Amino acid sequence: MQKNPVVDIDSPRIGRSLPHALSVAEVDSILALPEKITPLILRNYAMLHLLYATGLRVSELVNIPVNGCNVSSGYVRVLGKGNKERLVPFNAAASERIEDYLERGRPALLKKRPSPHLFVSNRGKAMTRIRFWQIIRELAVMGGITKKVSPHTMRHSFATHLLEGGADLRSVQMMLGHADIATTQIYTHVDIKRLKAIHQKFHPRG
């Protein structure tokens, strides 16, 4: 054929996958502190609480310096993509877990060894991304969650729950460290999906 018969036909749009987020109840079950407390438990739950409270990327979380976390003010200073620095607030629950870790967990792990990192291993070294991936999966199982949970799951949950609670998109963009608000807008689809479910459940002709 001399002419392409499909030249004027638009290519199909590939749907963008929606972020997977946990429910608030599921997050609460993961964040619940176990009865047995060790320095590693204090560190792990401090990291988990801070992750959900701030929506940090896992690379940002493991690289937080000690002087980058202000527990009394409830702010953490992180270095994101493109070496862009931002301040992200965190809640009282995260402050409590971090303070407990700084008092009882971190000194026990370091054994008087110096380290500029907030979160350290039992060898006094900086935490790694891979190790925290393993830890968060272990904590999810301990919390009774059968779904696959990763640090990114908690980041998605952070953004989704903020928007569901009425936070504006621009504020969520700043906290997530997105350069373009279009990246943050994917979470509005999550909220729209929830609203559609509510509409179908409660509307007389839903």
Active site positions, annotated: 57, 81, 152, 155, 178, 187
Query: Taking each helix axis from N to C terminus, what angle separates 186-202 and 169-176, rounded to the nearest 10 degrees?
Result: 140
Radius of gyration of the chain (CA): 21
Contacts of 81 (CB under 8 A, 6+ apart): 57, 177, 179
CA torsion through residues 123, 127, 131, 132, sign: positive
**Structure-token pair, residue 7:** 């030249």
Q: Quote the Cα angle for 25-173-128, to 5°.
A: 70
Q: Quote the Cα angle for 7-13-15, to 5°.
A: 165
Question: Phi-psi category of 108—alpha, beta or left, where left has phi over 0 and alpha has psi -120 to 50?
Answer: alpha
**Structure-token pair, residue 18:** 């929606």
Number of continuous H segments (helices) and E segments (strands) in the chain: 10, 3
